[in-house]
A and B are shown apart, each in its own frame.
Chain A
Amino acid sequence: MIHLKRPFSLLKAAFLADKYARPNGHSNLAKVRQSTQWLCFLVSTVIIGLPTESKAQELDIRILYIEQRIERPPVLSNLVSWPADEGERGAALGLDDNNTTGRFLGQHYSLETLIFDVDEPTAARDTQIRQALATGARLVVMNMPANDLTSIATWPEASDDLIFNTQSTDNTLRQEQCLPNVLHTIPSRAMLSDALIQFFTKKQWKQVFLIEGNRAGDKAFAQSIRASVQKFGLKIVESKTWIDDADMRRNAASEIPVFTQARKYDAVVVTDEDRDFSQYVLYNTWLPRPVAGSAGLMPVAWSPVIEQWGAAQLQSRFRDLSKRDMTSRDYSNWAAIRTIGEAVTRIQSTNPTDIRHYILSDEFELGGFKGTPLSYRDWNGQMRQSIQLVHSQAVVASAPIEGFLHPITQLDTLGTDRPETQCTQFP
Chain B
Amino acid sequence: MYTISIATVPWKKPTLCRLIFTGKKKNQTTMSHLKAIPVSALGALMCLTSSVTNAHWAYISNEKDDTISVIDTESNEVIKTLNVGERPRGVTLSHDNTRLFICASDSDTVQVMSIADDSIIFELPSGEDPEQFALHPDNRHLYIANEDDAIATVVDIESRQVVSQIDVGVEPEGMAVSHDGKYAIVTSETSNMAHWIDTSTQTIVANTLVDQRPRDAEFSLDDSELWVSSEIGGTVSVIDTETKEIKQILSFKIPGISKDQIQPVGMELTADGKTAFIALGPSNHVAVVDRESMTVTDYILVGRRVWHMALTPEEDKLYTTNGVSGDVTLVDVASLKAVQSIKVGRYPWGVTILPKEAIPQ
A interface, CB within 8 angstroms of B: 1-6, 9, 12-13, 16, 19, 23-27, 29, 33, 97, 100-101, 103-105, 310, 313, 316-317, 320, 338, 342, 345-346, 365-367, 371-373, 409-411
Contacts and interface: CB of A to CB of B under 8 A. Distances in A.
25 contacts: A1-B208, A1-B246, A3-B245, A5-B205, A6-B203, A9-B203, A9-B204, A13-B203, A16-B203, A23-B161, A26-B127, A27-B125, A97-B170, A100-B190, A100-B191, A103-B167, A320-B148, A338-B190, A342-B192, A367-B213, A367-B231, A371-B260, A373-B212, A409-B259, A409-B260
B232 A372 contact: yes
Given A101-B170, A310-B213, A313-B148, A3 B207 contact: yes
Nearest to B164: A16
B207 A104 contact: yes
Contacts, number: 117
B209 interface: yes
A279 B231 CA distance: 38
Interface in B197-246: 201-209, 211-213, 231-233, 243-246
A26 B233 contact: no
Interface in B32-83: none
B191 A104 contact: yes
A29 B162 contact: yes
A409 B259 CA distance: 8
A25 B127 CA distance: 11
A5 B166 CA distance: 15
Interface in B123-166: 125-127, 147-148, 150, 161-162, 164-166
B147 A29 contact: no
A208 B212 CA distance: 40
B209 A1 contact: yes
A404 to B, nearest CB: 11
Contacts of B165: 19, 29, 33
B327 interface: no
B284 to A, nearest CB: 13
Contacts of B293: none
B203 A367 contact: no
B361 interface: no
A29 B259 CA distance: 43
Given A101-B190, A373-B212, A4 B169 contact: no
Given A16-B203, A24-B162, A101-B169, 5 more contacts: A1-B209, A6-B203, A97-B170, A367-B232, A373-B232
B189 A310 contact: yes
B330 interface: no
A403 to B, nearest CB: 11
Contacts of A5: 205-206
Most central of A16, A345, A366, A373 by chain B CB within 10 Å: A373
Interface of B: 125-127, 147-148, 150, 161-162, 164-167, 169-171, 188-193, 195, 201-209, 211-213, 231-233, 243-246, 258-260, 282
A2 B246 CA distance: 9
B170 A3 contact: no
Contacts of B231: 367
Contact of A25 (B147, B162, B201, B244): B162
A4 B193 CA distance: 11
A58 to B, nearest CB: 15
A6 B209 contact: no
Nearest to A104: B207
Contacts of B211: 365
Nearest to B166: A12
B96 to A, nearest CB: 25
Contacts of A371: 260, 282
Contacts of B167: 12, 103
Contacts of A346: 209
Given A3-B207, A104-B195, A410-B260, A373 B190 contact: no
A313 B203 contact: no
Given A6-B204, A310-B171, A373 B233 contact: yes
B98 to A, nearest CB: 24
A12 B166 CA distance: 8
Contacts of A27: 125
Contacts of A97: 170, 190-191
A97 B211 CA distance: 17
A126 to B, nearest CB: 36
Contacts of B233: 365, 373
Contacts of B148: 313, 316-317, 320
A310 to B, nearest CB: 7
Q: By CB atoms of chain A within 10 A, which of B126, B165, B243 has the most?
A: B165
Contact of B189 (A16, A345, A367): A367
B191 A101 contact: yes
